[in-house]
Amino acid sequence: MEKVFIIILNWNGWRDTIACLESVFRSGYPHFRVIVCDNASTDKSLERIAEWAEGRLHARCPTPSLDRLISPAVNKPIRVVHTDLNGQGEVLGNGEPLILLQTGANRGFAGGVNAGLRLALHSDLDYVWILNNDTLVESTTLEELVRRMQEKPQAGICGSTLLYLEDPEVIQALGGSVFNPWLARGRHLTGGTRLSNVDIDANEVESRLSYIVGASMLVRRRLLEEIGLMSEQYFLFFEELDWALRARSRFSLAYAAGAVVYHREGAATGSNSLKARSSQLADFYSSCNRILIVRRYFPWAVLPAAMVVVAKAVRRLFAGEAYGCRALMRGLGRGLFLNRQTELRSDS
């Protein structure tokens, strides 16, 4: 069977991470190893995760109806190895199922994940599953993802059925999103709809996808080798869209309908579309990066995309959210005037 490395990024979120790991290690797919990449957390995350692996700390499910995904707990201890960015590939040799990688700084989403990708590529992996730490997964999810990629040999990235962890009957996205360049905005496929009201056709979903949502992406090794890693320019948001746009001439996108992932959106950034909530951090990077992405791939849409940000900022101002307005406008300025050479850099 094909080999998978699962990469989970953690930043001051060990409680979410150990719950995610508890569900991941119940997977029925036998050939996987996990790398938890820690972006210099200040809450002793790696120590807490190691305690969980030893069986001295127990995971808790934030949604009672999903407790079956982490209970009863998997057998402990789980063998662990610690490393940092100087570890290269020598830590892979003993086959520990859980690798704790300290990245040494808050490198953002792409930077933290890329550290894990570079380490994993020292192995003979076939796929990498990039999975948010604020998720829980079904025991069959990884198997379903791999099966779909085997059925779609030209696919470079495969998405899951993402459901809201707070409300598991509501869809966050079927695999990914459709991107509108004029608005510089992605619209999650069937987002906000109750799962029972949708008749899912995976082929039809794949025909509409612009990119796979970053909360769950199974990535083929060949894409990593031919296209490169995620661009670290964005820090948060739009990395997965940039990746899909860079790869679109060589790889298609896939969707595994049976690969169910429950996602507590915005745990790290403080934003949540289900609750119509956003943080200043999310506002800044979402406005900055929507401009960067159109500057790079759709330059004819920069002006309308900028006007969308301005309109959103004005609404925040009239709603009494001056800090949110300021964050949006700061992001817009950075996106418009960031040095072009810097903007076009992507990691490989």
Token pair for 166: 């707070």
- pLDDT at res. 265: 76
Asked, for residue 269, whether it belongs to a domain, the answer is: no
Same-domain pairing of 69 and 162: yes
Q: Do residues 284 and 243 both lie within one domain? A: no
The structure's pTM equals 0.93
Based on the fold, state whether residues 186 and 242 are members of the same structural domain.
yes
pLDDT band at residue 279 under the 50/70/90 scheme: confident
What integer is the mean pLDDT of 266-281? 57
Residue 267 is predicted with a pLDDT of 56
CATH assignment of the domain containing 100: 3.90.550.60
The reply to whether 294 and 247 lie within a common domain is no
pLDDT at 329 over 70: yes
| Domain stops at, among 212, 230, 263 | 263
Q: Which domain holds residue 204?
A: 4-263
Look at residues 234, 263, 292 and tell me which one is the last residue of a structural domain.
Answer: 263
Do 66 and 199 have their domain in common? yes
| Statement: residue 196 has pLDDT above 90 | yes
**Percentage of the chain modeled with pLDDT above 70:** 94
Task: Kindly state the tokens that stand for 308.
Answer: 């969308």
- Residues 128 and 19 reside in one and the same domain: yes
Indicate the residue among 263, 298, 323 that finishes a domain. 263
The answer to whether position 46 is within a domain reads: yes
Residue 108 has pLDDT above 70, yes or no: yes
Tell me which residue of 244, 252, 204 sits closest to 228, measured CA to CA.
244
What lies within 8 Å, CB to CB, of 221 at 6+ separation is 121, 125, 126, 127, 128
Tens of pLDDT along 21-74?
A: 999 999 999 999 999 999 999 999 999 999 999 999 999 998 999 999 999 999
Whether 211 is covered by a domain: the verdict is yes
pLDDT value, residue 271 = 46
| Total domains in the fold of the chain | 2
Cite the beta strand spans of the chain per DSSP E.
4-10, 32-38, 80-84, 98-102, 127-132, 135-137, 155-164, 171-174, 176-180, 185-188, 211-212, 216-220, 252-263
